[in-house]
C-alpha cells in the first residue's frame, strides 16, 4: 500500500482550524482538582510491566474505567486498586466499543501497538502509546495516515521529551541554537541486547490467550522466553535494543540535529553481531525461510554500530555502548542521559544564559510546562493541540532505527527518500519495510 507522506508540518496545517492556539504564557485548560464527573474516562490496554506504569499515571489524571490484557492475571492485578470501578476485559475491542471511554493507554508488546492504536482512533479515542511505536516502516506510514485522517490526539511514550528535569530539552536547545557549531554529530549510545537460547517450548498457561498474544506475528508454539520483558529480543515482536532503547536517544539526537521532519536519508552499517547469524535472519525476514524453523532463541542484533546521515549533513551514530547521548560540533561537546547534562558549554553558562535556556525550553515544549509526559497528553486532549511526542516526528525517529536494522541485515549502505517513503532503487531493502501479517490480525485503515 502506497500512502501519501504525512508530516507533522502537514498535520499542523490541516488541524489549524480545530486546535486551540497555544499562547506564549500558557494557562492550564483544566484544573487538576476536577471532580470525577469532569475528568476524562481512560482505559488501559496491555497492563504488564510498562503498561501498568503508564496506566497508573493516566489514572492519576483521569477516571480509570477499564483495562484489557490477553494475560488475565495482569488485567486482574491492574484493576485491584480501583475497587470494582475498573472493568476487566481480555479483548481490547470491548473497551473500544464503550462510548464512555475518552482515551486509552497502550502498553502491549510492539507488534500490537499500531493495530490497537488505529482501531482506537477509528473508535473516536485519543491515544497514549508506548514506544517504539511501530514494528516496521510500513506501520509508521499507516499510523501517520490514521492520525491525519481521524484528527485524534496521539502521544508516543518517549518521555525524555518531557521529563528528567528537562535535561534532554536543554540539550536540544543548545544544539539547535548554534552554540555547539554549525555541523553537528551525535552519538546515540544505548546498550546491548540480550542473547540466549535455545529455549524449550511448552503449553501456554491457562490464564494467557497465546494466539491473541501472537496477533499478526507467525504462529509458533508457546515459549516462556517470548513473553514479558523478553519479547524485545525477537524480531517477530520487536526490533531489539536498536529500536527499544535506540529510539529514546536517537529521537532526541535527530531533533537536536534538525532532522525531525524527515529522519535520515542514508544509513551505513559499521559493525554488528546477530546471535543466529545475519544471513539466516535476512532470509527469514524476506520470507525465504519459515519463522517456525528458526532456533527458539533470541535473534535480534546483540551489538550494533550504524551511521545515519540527515539531509542537512549532520550525522547520528547509533551504537550499543554505555547509556548516553553525546552531541558535538566545532564549538563544543555536551553529554546527556537520564542522570546528568554535562560538558563545557553547559558549565560556562551565565545566569543570563540559563534564563535564556529556560525560555527556549518552554518555546520548544510548545508553550506548555515540561515535567510530566502523561500530563502533556491530557492537556493536549483538553485543548486539541499537538503533543510534544507527536506521531510524525516519532515515526521519523523509529524509522531511523528500523533503517539501521535493515542496513545491518543487508550489510551495506541504504538510501532513503522521505517523500516517497521508500528506499532508493533498492528492492531488497524495500521488501524489509513490511512483514506478512497473520489473519485475522492484519492492520487496516
- When computed from its CA atoms, the radius of gyration of the chain, rounded to whole angstroms, is 21
Tell me: the pLDDT tens digits for 351-403? 999 999 999 999 999 999 999 999 999 999 999 999 999 999 999 999 999 99
- Helix or strand or coil: residue 269? strand
Give the neighbor-by-neighbor strand order of the sheet with 103-106. 87-89, 63-68, 41-45, 103-106, 126-129, 154-156
pLDDT for 127 beyond 80: yes
Average pLDDT value for residue range 86-107: 98
pLDDT of 31 > 80? The answer is: no
Burial class (CB in 10 A: 0-12, 13-18, 19+), 204: middle
The pLDDT of 194-212, averaged and rounded, is: 98
Which pLDDT band holds residue 70 (cuts at 50, 70, 90)? very high
Choose among 386, 208, 241, 260: nearest CA to 319: 241
Domain ranges of the chain: 8-162+368-390, 164-363+394-431
Calpha distance 217→235 (Å, rounded): 10
Give the confidence band of 438 by pLDDT, cuts at 50, 70, 90: very high
What's the pLDDT score for residue 34?
60
DSSP state of 176: H
Residue 30 in this model has a pLDDT that exceeds 90: no
**pLDDT score for 92:** 98
pLDDT more than 70, % of the chain:
92
Fold of the CATH domain 8-162+368-390: Rossmann fold (3.40.50)
Q: Residue 193 pLDDT more than 90?
A: yes
**Same fold for the domain at 8-162+368-390 and the one at 164-363+394-431?**
no
Confidence grade of residue 38 (pLDDT, cut at 50, 70, 90): confident
CATH of domain 164-363+394-431: 3.30.360.10
Burial class (CB in 10 A: 0-12, 13-18, 19+), 153: buried
- Could you read off the pLDDT of 1-26 as tens digits, one per residue? 456 555 666 655 545 444 433 322 23
Q: Mean pLDDT, to the nearest integer, of 416-445?
A: 97
* Mean of pLDDT values over 247-259: 98
Residue that wins the pLDDT comparison between 244 and 2? 244
Mean per-residue pLDDT for 322-347? 98
pTM of the model: 0.94
Reply yes or no on whether the pLDDT at 113 is more than 50. Answer: yes
Higher pLDDT, 29 or 314: 314
**In the predicted structure, residue 350 carries a pLDDT above the cut 50:** yes
Convert the pLDDT of each residue in 287-333 to its tens digit: 999 999 999 999 999 999 999 999 999 999 999 999 999 999 999 99
pLDDT on residue 412: 98
Provide the pLDDT for residue 7: 60
Q: How far apart are CA 267 and CA 402, in angstroms?
A: 10
Q: Residue 10: what pLDDT? A: 60
With residue 84 as reference, give the H or E element that holds it: none
The pLDDT of residue 35 is above 90: no
Amino acid at each position: 500500500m502506497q500512502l501519501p507522506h504525512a508530516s507533522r508540518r502537514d498535520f499542523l496545517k490541516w488541524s489549524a482550524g480545530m486546535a486551540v492556539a497555544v499562547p506564549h504564557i500558557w494557562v492550564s485548560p483544566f484544573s487538576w482538582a476536577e471532580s470525577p464527573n469532569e475528568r476524562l474516562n481512560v482505559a488501559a490496554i496491555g497492563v504488564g510491566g510498562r503498561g501498568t506504569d503508564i496506566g497508573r499515571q493516566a489514572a492519576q489524571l483521569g477516571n480509570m474505567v477499564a483495562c484489557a490484557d490477553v494475560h488475565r492475571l495482569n488485567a486482574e492485578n491492574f484493576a485491584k486498586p480501583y475497587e470494582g470501578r475498573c472493568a476487566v476485559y481480555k479483548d481490547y475491542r470491548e473497551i473500544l466499543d464503550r462510548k464512555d471511554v475518552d482515551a486509552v493507554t497502550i502498553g502491549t508488546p510492539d507488534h500490537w501497538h499500531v493495530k490497537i492504536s488505529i482501531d482506537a482512533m477509528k473508535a473516536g479515542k485519543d491515544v497514549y502509546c508506548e514506544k517504539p511505536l511501530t514494528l516496521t516502516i510500513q506501520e509508521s506510514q499507516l499510523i501517520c495516515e490514521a492520525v491525519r485522517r481521524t484528527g485524534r490526539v496521539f502521544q508516543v511514550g518517549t518521555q525524555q521529551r518531557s521529563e528528567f528535569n528537562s535535561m534532554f530539552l536543554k540539550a536540544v536547545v543548545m544544539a539547535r541554537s548554534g552554540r555547539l557549531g554549525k555541523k553537528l554529530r551525535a552519538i546515540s549510545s544505548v546498550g546491548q541486547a540480550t542473547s540466549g537460547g535455545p529455549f524449550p517450548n511448552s503449553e501456554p498457561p491457562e490464564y494467557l490467550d497465546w494466539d491473541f498474544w501472537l496477533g499478526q506475528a507467525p504462529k509458533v508454539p508457546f515459549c516462556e522466553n517470548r513473553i514479558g520483558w523478553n519479547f524485545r529480543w525477537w524480531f517477530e515482536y520487536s526490533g531489539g535494543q536498536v529500536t527499544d532503547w535506540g529510539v529514546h536517544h536517537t529521537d532526541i539526537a535527530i531533533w537536536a540535529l534538525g532532522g525531525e521532519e524527515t529522519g535520515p536519508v542514508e544509513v551505513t552499517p559499521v559493525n554488528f553481531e546477530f546471535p543466529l547469524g545475519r544471513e539466516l535472519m535476512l532470509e527469514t525476514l524476506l520470507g525465504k525461510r519459515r519463522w517456525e524453523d528458526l532456533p527458539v532463541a533470541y535473534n535480534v542484533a546483540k551489538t550494533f554500530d550504524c551511521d545515519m546521515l540527515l539531509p542537512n549533513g549532520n550525522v547520528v551514530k547509533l551504537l550499543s555502548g554505555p547509556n548516553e547521548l553525546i552531541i558535538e560540533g566545532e564549538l563544543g561537546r555536551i553529554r546527556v542521559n537520564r542522570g546528568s547534562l554535562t560538558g563545557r558549554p553547559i558549565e560556562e553558562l551565565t545566569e543570563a544564559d540559563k534564563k535564556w535556556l529556560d525560555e527556549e525550553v518552554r518555546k520548544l515544549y510548545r508553550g506548555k510546562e515540561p515535567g510530566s509526559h502523561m500530563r502533556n497528553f491530557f492537556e493536549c486532549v483538553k485543548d486539541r493541540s499537538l503533543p510534544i511526542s507527536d506521531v510524525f516526528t516519532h515515526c521519523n525517529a523509529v524509522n531511523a532505527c528500523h533503517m539501521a536494522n535493515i542496513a545491518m541485515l543487508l550489510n551495506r549502505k541504504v538510501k532513503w527518500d522521505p517523500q516517497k517513503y521508500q528506499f532508493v532503487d533498492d528492492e531488497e531493502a524495500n521488501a524489509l519495510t513490511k512483514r506478512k501479517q497473520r489473519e485475522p490480525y492484519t492492520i487496516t485503515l
